[in-house]
Structure formats: structure tokens, C-alpha cells
Amino acid sequence: MRGPDQVERLVAMLARLPGLGRRSARRAALKLLQDPGGLMLPLAQALHDTAESVRPCRICGNLDTEDPCRICADPHRDQEIVCVVEGVADLWALERAHVHRGLYHVLGGVLAALSGVGPEDLRIEPLLERVAAGEIREVILALPATVDGATTAHYLADRLAASGVSVTQLAQGVPMGGALDVMDDGTLAAALKARRPA
Amino acid sequence: MRGPDQVERLVAMLARLPGLGRRSARRAALKLLQDPGGLMLPLAQALHDTAESVRPCRICGNLDTEDPCRICADPHRDQEIVCVVEGVADLWALERAHVHRGLYHVLGGVLAALSGVGPEDLRIEPLLERVAAGEIREVILALPATVDGATTAHYLADRLAASGVSVTQLAQGVPMGGALDVMDDGTLAAALKARRPA
């Protein structure tokens, strides 16, 4: 493959990454080309190694080099609490915040009638099976505060009702540091409705 | 190397690309991880191949798989006109616009007293040597319309004066489609000064 075509192929691939448009992909390619040994080849190697070694966990759907993943395999974590998230990005966000010491369950999306995402497209059956196995006491629904997220939470609460497990969801309200005058109406309504003693 | 460390290493590398912060690098890594065969491994391969094969042209400094590059080697291009650019990104921009049918010379930067970039840090001597070789009739300075770009243009015009070659530079003014009320004062001043009959 001849040069510019090869560079153009690289630019086209970089442009498929979220956050990079065509123009920034070109700038990224140039920055890489200006430091082949220091950045470009190590990045190629890291991509190759990671692609070869990272797999979804068969239990929770987390991405890890080990299967079951190290969260599922960690005996120090609370095996009785499972936090249900839309995707691995949300799992990582909760892990970075060090706020959940139980296990996780990655749905792989949320129900979305308009895009044709139904229950069978999500990892809902594996969640019901985990709960049916008996060790889980609480399922925390940490789904996005959107219409689709709320629909999915309702659906899961329904499906889990018969199991007798406690089903909770994240509180909604004004985020830390949030100024009231920039909040949308829905957030203000939710925060007011869920008000508590000061 | 264990999983999350490996993913974190990949995220850290992606975050070094221009246009990608830490957060978008994480999103990019996740998108890659979700499609190892379709995107991640091909990207690794493209980076590897490009790093191995693309080199700066010994004549003009363009990046290409061939040396001299295919622009320098193209007999259909006007060998008498050389367009001087700050970097390869600008060369590519001019090539995409199909507006210059001569050759190029990549300086590798512009003079910047504050950052300590002097003439010896740029590919100025090779430019003077190309001009001294005698075939070049016109040098077009296509440098950025900044203080440093203008300083560099003046410096090059001075150095080239003795050679007898014609030295020109890009016109400054209001860009195509540009609304006057969003232009900065410098652009307006330059456009007014360089006004021409309608």
C-alpha cells in the first residue's frame, strides 16, 4: 500500500474513535508519525496485546484479562450485593469512585423500543439466573437517569419482584457542586420530590 | 501485565493524542475493546505498518513511504515553484485543496524567540541550498498568519533576497464565507489594507 493511502487508512480508523473527528484524527496521525518509536509503535503493541488478552467476564460482563474477572473473583467483595449497570464504562466510573464494594452486572445496554432493543438483547436472563442461585440479597439498579434507563429499571424491578431480593436504585437530585439555575426541570422536580430533612 | 493495568496503559497512550482527553481516551478504549477484531487489531496493524514505512522526505521534509517523496519525484509538478510551510499538516491541507502544483519545503516549525526556536532549529539551510542549486524561480511563503509566522517570513525573505529568486506570501484577508462581525481586528485591518478594485 502506498504512503498517503496508508496514512489515509490510519486517519480513517482513528476517525472512528469516539471524540475524534476527521480533522483531529489527521492531527493525531501526524503526532504519531512524528514519534514512531516513542508513541506509535508502543500504541500499536498496547492495542494488540489488549485485544488479545481482554475478554468479557462470563459472570458479570466486565472486561478483564481474567475470566471470571477480578471483581467477581475477589473474596473481599460483598457477594450479596449486585450493582446493575448499562455498560462497562459505568462499572469503571463506580470503581474509580470507590463507592461500591459488592459485585456488578453489565446489561450491555438499556431497553429502547425505538431502536428495537428488547429484553432478549440485554444480559437480563443471566442476571435472573444469578439472583435465582440464591446468594444475592440486594440488586442496585445504577442505570442512566433517562427515559430508557427508567423503563429498564421498572422492567427489571418487575422481573425481580418474585425472587424476594431487595431491589434499589440510585437517588436522583442535584449533583454535587451543581448550581440550581443551570439544572434542567426534570432534575429540579426529582430533587424536590426526594427532599429530605436538613 | 494484569488487565485493568493494561487497559489503563492503553488509555494513557490514547490520552496523549491531540483532541483526546482522559475521559474520551477511556471511551475510545472501551469502543476498541468492544470490537477487537473489527477495529482494535486492524488499528494496531495500521499503526505498526505506518510507523515502519513512513519517513520524512530528504528533499522537502514531507512524510511518505518513499524518499524522495512522491511530490518531489513527480515530473508533472512545477519544479520551479517551492511552497514553504510550517509543517506536514499544512502541506496536506494545501494538497487536499489542489491549489498548488509546484513543490514544497517543510520548515518543521516557525521562529519563536520565547520558546527558544532559532533558525538552526528549522530546515532553513536545506531551503537555501535548494534555492542555490538554481532551478527554483519562486518561493511562496505559506506560513501561519501569526506574529511568529510573520517573523519567520521576514527572516526567510531576507535570507533569500541575495539569491534573486522571487519571494511571495499568501494574501491575508477575510476568509470565504466569513462574517465581518466575527472577524478579529487584525484580520479586518489586513483585509482593509489589502483592498482591491471590486
Reference B143, options B116, B124, B164; nearest CA is B124
E strand intervals along A57-179? 63-64, 78-85, 102-106, 138-142, 166-169
> From CA B132, how far away is CA B23, in angstroms rounded?
51
- pLDDT over 70 (residue A3): no
Q: How large a percentage of chain A has pLDDT more than 70?
A: 98
Q: Which architecture does CATH list for A63-169? A: 3-Layer(aba) Sandwich (3.40)
What CATH topology corresponds to A3-53?
A: Helicase, Ruva Protein; domain 3 (1.10.8)
Cα B101–chain centre separation = 17
> From CA B75, how far away is CA B70, in angstroms rounded?
10
Query: B36 — contact with chain A (CB < 8 Å)?
Result: yes
Mean pLDDT value across residues A15-30: 91
E strand intervals along chain A? 55-56, 63-64, 78-85, 102-106, 138-142, 166-169
* Diameter over CA atoms, chain B: 69
Q: What is the pLDDT of residue A98?
A: 86
Pairing of strands B78-85, B102-106: parallel
Mean pLDDT value across residues A158-176: 89
Reference A106, options A121, A91, A128, A125; nearest CA is A91
Q: What is the pLDDT of residue A31?
A: 92
Q: Cβ of A89 and B40 within 8 Å? A: no
In this complex, the residue of B7, B17, B27 whose CB is nearest that of residue A18 is: B27
- pLDDT over 70 (residue B97): yes
Q: Confirm if A156 and A124 have CB atoms less than 8 A apart.
A: yes
Chain B neighbors of A109, CB-CB under 8 A: none
Reference B6, options A69, A95, A106, A51; nearest CA is A51
How close A20 gets to chain B, by Cα (Å)?
Answer: 7
Query: B69 — contact with chain A (CB < 8 Å)?
Result: yes
Cα–Cα distances in Å, from A67 out to A6, A54, A57, A102, A152?
A: 36, 9, 5, 18, 27
How close A140 gets to chain B, by Cα (Å)?
Answer: 23
- pLDDT over 50 (residue A2): no
> From CA B54, how far away is CA B61, in angstroms rounded?
12
pLDDT single digits (tens) A48-65: 999 999 999 999 999 999
Mean pLDDT value across residues B102-112: 96
- Res. B86 pLDDT band, cuts 50 70 90: very high
> From CA B23, how far away is CA B29, in angstroms rounded?
10
ipTM of the complex: 0.73
Beta-carbon count within 10 A of A171 CB = 9
Mark out the alpha helices in A34-111 (DSSP H runs): 41-53, 88-97
Block residue for cell numbers 506570501: B169
Mean pLDDT value across residues A29-47: 93
Residues in chain B: 198
How close B62 gets to chain A, by Cα (Å)?
Answer: 11
> From CA B167, how far away is CA B144, in angstroms rounded?
16
Which is more confident, A185 or B75? B75
Q: What is the pLDDT of residue B173?
A: 83
- pLDDT over 90 (residue B196): no
Chain B neighbors of A71, CB-CB under 8 A: none
* Residues 6+ positions from A147 with CB-CB distance below 8 Å: none
Q: Confirm if A66 and A73 have CB atoms less than 8 A apart.
A: yes
Cα B124–chain centre separation = 15
Domain spans in chain B, listed from the N-terminal domain onward: 3-53, 63-169
> From CA A46, how far away is CA A53, in angstroms rounded?
11
- pLDDT over 90 (residue B179): no
